[in-house]
Every structure is written in structure tokens, then in C-alpha cells.
Amino acid sequence: MPNAKAADFWRALVEAGVKPAGLGARDTLRLEAGMNLYGQEMDEGVSPLAANMGWTIAWEPADRDFIGREALEMQREKGTEQLVGLVMKEKGGLRGELPVR
């Protein structure tokens, strides 16, 4: 869409009843659904097994070679730290820099 039309398009959406939602709303919805966001809960330093995403690993066929397979197999065998969900007692926005007590 050309930049010149963006403001009119936005106004038309709002007039049609679309409710604006920002990153806070998106984060709340994905956290409630237990969905990870790359760069937040997971990155290249968090394995798929630690991020509870082992279902995304194509283990079969057993001779299938991929980068990191040996390390992932070791984690699967010996166990690894796990990301866990938190339940808040009060309403509010949960952010990465907030302390957990």
C-alpha cells in the first residue's frame, strides 16, 4: 500500500469497528496460549527441547543428519532445563525484566 493511503486506510478500519491492538495485546494472547516468541522466550541459546518445542524436531528417520542433532539427542537422553509458564495473581502486563517472587 502506498504510504499516502495508509492513514485513510487506518481510519476506515477504525470506522468499520476494528479495535486497535498493540504489542501488549499480542503478547498477552500468545502468553496465554503458551506460544514462544523468538527473541523473547527463545533464541539461538535456547534449544527446542528447553523451549517445549521438541515436536518441531524431525527425529525420523533415525539416520537423518542435521546441525545440532547430537546435542539435542544428548539433551533428550539426559534432560535439559525447561521454560515454564507463570500464573499471575493480579491483572497486569508481564514483561521480561520484571522480578518473579
The residue assigned the cell 497486569 is 92
How far apart are the C-alpha atoms of 91 and 84, rounded to whole Å? Answer: 19
CATH of the domain at 71: 4.10.1250.10
Cβ density class 38-70: b for 16+ within 10 Å, e for less: eeebbeeebbbbbbeeeeebeeeeeeeeeeeee
43 and 8 within one domain: no
Instruction: Give 70-86 pLDDT, tens digit per residue.
Output: 999 999 999 999 988 87
**pLDDT value for 28:** 83
Please give the model's pTM, rounded to 2 decimal places. 0.63
Q: Quick check: 47 and 53 in contact, CB under 8 A?
A: no
Q: Does residue 88 surpass a pLDDT of 90? A: no
Instruction: Give 48-72 pLDDT, tens digit per residue.
Output: 999 989 999 999 999 999 999 999 9
12 vs 42, higher pLDDT: 12
29 and 62 within one domain: no
Range of the domain at 55: 36-83
